[in-house]
Amino acid sequence: MSTGTEFESKVVQVGDHRIHMKIAGGTGPLVLLVHGWPESPHSWRHQMRALADAGYQVAAIDQLGYGRSSKPTAVDETRITTRVATTAAVVEALGAETAVVIGHDWGAAVAWTCAWTRPDVFTAVVGLSVPFGGRGLMALPGSPRGEIRPSEIERRIAGPDRVWYQQHISEVPGLVERDLERDVRGFLTAAYYTVSASFLEPVPELRTFDEIAGWLRGTGLCVSPGTPWSSYYVQPEKLPDWLTEEDIDAYTEQYEQTGFAGPLSSYRTNDLDWELLGELAGKTLDVPALYIGGDRDPCTIWGRDAIAIFDEVAPRNHGCVIVPECGHWIQQERPDEVNRAVLDFLAAVQP
């Protein structure tokens, strides 16, 4: 399996920002990979080699605020429209006119929005974990296309005695950063384990908003006031087979150097992003699209409303692949299934 160390690093200047990436492959069509939180280009190590071997030019970027990319200091500098513009500029900086964009977690929200708002650049899209959510980005239950302001639907999900984790991150700037940075390696190890199928139990059939919200309230996604977020994550007795000490080393080195303030900034722009994308409410996603979810991933569970209307909101979609016995870290937990689905999709959409 790929370790990620064999890929070349590249830095490009796009407008006011510096974007670092790992690149592989040659002269084939460009595939741009956008990681989630708390991850890095390393999370795409298995896909980069498979895509390069299939002839594609591959670039896995450090998102704004992460790794060796620029660290904007104002929260609104990491708004979704800036992330889309920066990602589109990366395509041009790499000498391409178009690209297929693939994202996971927050990277999926960026990837969907890139293809939704800039189909002239992003000609196809794959989203992992988080389904297409329109102006709402996170495809939350009860608001699959962003019908309701994010902070409002988050309050409804959490209920009167809990706080949705994204609101918890936003409430007191610096609070979560101090919590997580006390033991970066410990937090990352516990987070990767606790939100994977190595820890998560099979999820019962949940149909209504109240059923889904009730299940979410029993997870670390809904925080009791005054309780550190890190306390909801469990340390494994040993690492699962899909995650090595070398992988933890790679992530820990990055976050010990950069901290969590930049990476967490995207959680603090949810309402602003919703307002910025308001004029696009109801617009369909008009490029070929594929969704890949894990059957135990909380994002797949909360995104069931969005998955159910995928045919309606993405009329050129190539379906939804739900990977069995898989948690949140889909491309790392089940790389063979993800690679097969992505390569089949790319073969179908390439001219």
Per residue in 89-130, pLDDT (tens digit) is 999 999 999 999 999 999 999 999 999 999 999 999 999 999
71 located within any domain: yes
Residue 5's DSSP bridge partners are none
CA nearest neighbour of 275 among 155, 141, 152, 114 = 152
Q: pLDDT-derived band of residue 139, with 50, 70 and 90 as boundaries?
A: very high
Q: What is d(CA 284, CA 63) in angstroms, rounded to the nearest whole number? A: 25
Supply the pLDDT for residue 1.
Answer: 45
Residue 3: inside a domain: no
The number of distinct structural domains making up the chain is 1
The more confident residue out of 26 and 133 is 133
Domain extent at residue 12: 8-349
Query: Which listed residue (35, 104, 168, 328) is catalytic?
Result: 328
Task: With a cut of 70, say whether residue 3 has pLDDT above it.
Answer: no
Residue 130 lies in a domain: yes
- Whether 1 is covered by a domain: the verdict is no
Strands (E) across the chain are located at 8-14, 17-24, 30-34, 57-61, 99-104, 122-128, 163-164, 222-223, 289-294, 317-323
Q: Where does residue 129 fall: left (phi above 0), alpha (psi -120 to 50 degrees), or beta otherwise?
A: left
Instruction: Tell which residue, 253, 313, 326, 310, has the closest CA to residue 283.
Output: 313
pLDDT-derived band at 171, boundaries 50, 70, 90: confident
Residue 75, pLDDT above cutoff 80: no
- Kindly report the pTM of this predicted structure: 0.96
Which residue is catalytic, options 62, 105, 273, 297? 105
Band (pLDDT 50/70/90 cuts) for residue 4 is low
Structure confidence at residue 27 (pLDDT): 84
pLDDT, mean over the chain? 94
Rounded CA-CA distance 283/285 in Å is 7
Q: Tell me which residue has tokens 């390696």.
A: 185
Q: Is residue 74 part of a domain?
A: yes
105 is catalytic: yes
- Cα gap 79→274, rounded to integer Å: 10
- Is 328 one of the annotated active-site residues of the chain? yes
CATH number for the domain that contains residue 187:
3.40.50.1820
Is 221 in a helix, a strand, or coil? coil
Q: Is the pLDDT of residue 227 over 80?
A: yes
136 within a domain of the structure (yes/no): yes
